[in-house]
Amino acid sequence: MYSGDIASVLITEQDIQDKTAELAKLVAADYPEGGEEDLILVGVLKGAVMFMTDLARALPVPSQLEFMAVSSYGSATTSSGVVRILKDLDRDITGRHVLIVEDIVDSGLTLSWLMRNLATRNPASLAVCSLLRKPDAVKVDVPVAYVGFDIPNEFVVGYGLDYGERYRDLPYIATLAPHVYEG
Ligand code: 5GP
Ligand code: MG
Ligand code: MG
């Protein structure tokens, strides 16, 4: 599949599954079962879908799945921090424990905007779990409580992450061969 397009596999399917199980334990320890209401996972479409569904299944505590779609103005590979909501949450999160699930925090601009937006809705708590984080993310003051992997400053695809809507379906995280960008 996609033969010739993949330059190298950065994180294998097994590494992702192992890390997801680890993160699930950390999350479950912070949101024990028996609270008044279930934890709400807010997945940011479309990139976080694979991670979110695997994380929810790995969590030993109940969680409910909600989705948001945002568009960050910018090119295919960089974001500007100017964000528009394409699909909002279907429900009120007032008084609920909310965990934003992200595929990757790069500049952190999208997440920082999203945190501020969701905070105005008065959740009981608000935290972030991201599978990947890039070095630039530390420059922006976005607290990411749970991080799977810190990765180098390279454009990656797979496991939800796309390039021109392709490669999301790969079960691993990879870099692309230069010819893909050259078209
Ligand atoms: P940020 O606002 O943190 O710069 O990044 C926001 C979004 O840009 C991410 O949720 C993701 O959709 C996209 N993005 C950032 N880095 C990468 C990358 O290496 N690969 C892909 N496919 N998307 C990325
Ligand atoms: Mg994302
Ligand atoms: Mg994308």
Spans of all domains in the chain: 19-71+81-154
Nearest-ligand number for the alpha carbon of 161? 1
pLDDT, one tens digit per residue, over 19-57 is 999 999 999 999 988 878 999 999 999 999 999 999 999
Predicted pLDDT of residue 128: 97
The CATH architecture annotation of domain 19-71+81-154 reads 3-Layer(aba) Sandwich (3.40)
**72 pLDDT more than 90:** no
Atom of ligand 1 nearest to the CA of 151: 19
**Which parts of the chain fold into alpha helices (H)?**
13-30, 49-58, 109-119, 178-181
CA–CA separation, 158 vs 156, rounded Å? 7
CA–CA separation, 52 vs 148, rounded Å? 12
Rounded to the nearest angstrom, the distance between the alpha carbon of 100 and the centre of ligand 3 is 17
What residues are annotated to the active site? Answer: 106
Residue with token string 């909501």: 85
pLDDT, one tens digit per residue, over 77-110 is 666 667 889 999 999 999 999 999 999 999 888 8
Q: Is the CB of residue 130 below 6 angstroms from any atom belonging to ligand 1? A: no
Q: Is the CB of residue 109 below 6 angstroms from any atom belonging to ligand 1? A: yes
Rounded to the nearest angstrom, the distance between the alpha carbon of 103 and the centre of ligand 2 is 5
Predicted pLDDT of residue 76: 60
Spatial contact of 59 and 27, defined as CB atoms under 8 Å apart: yes
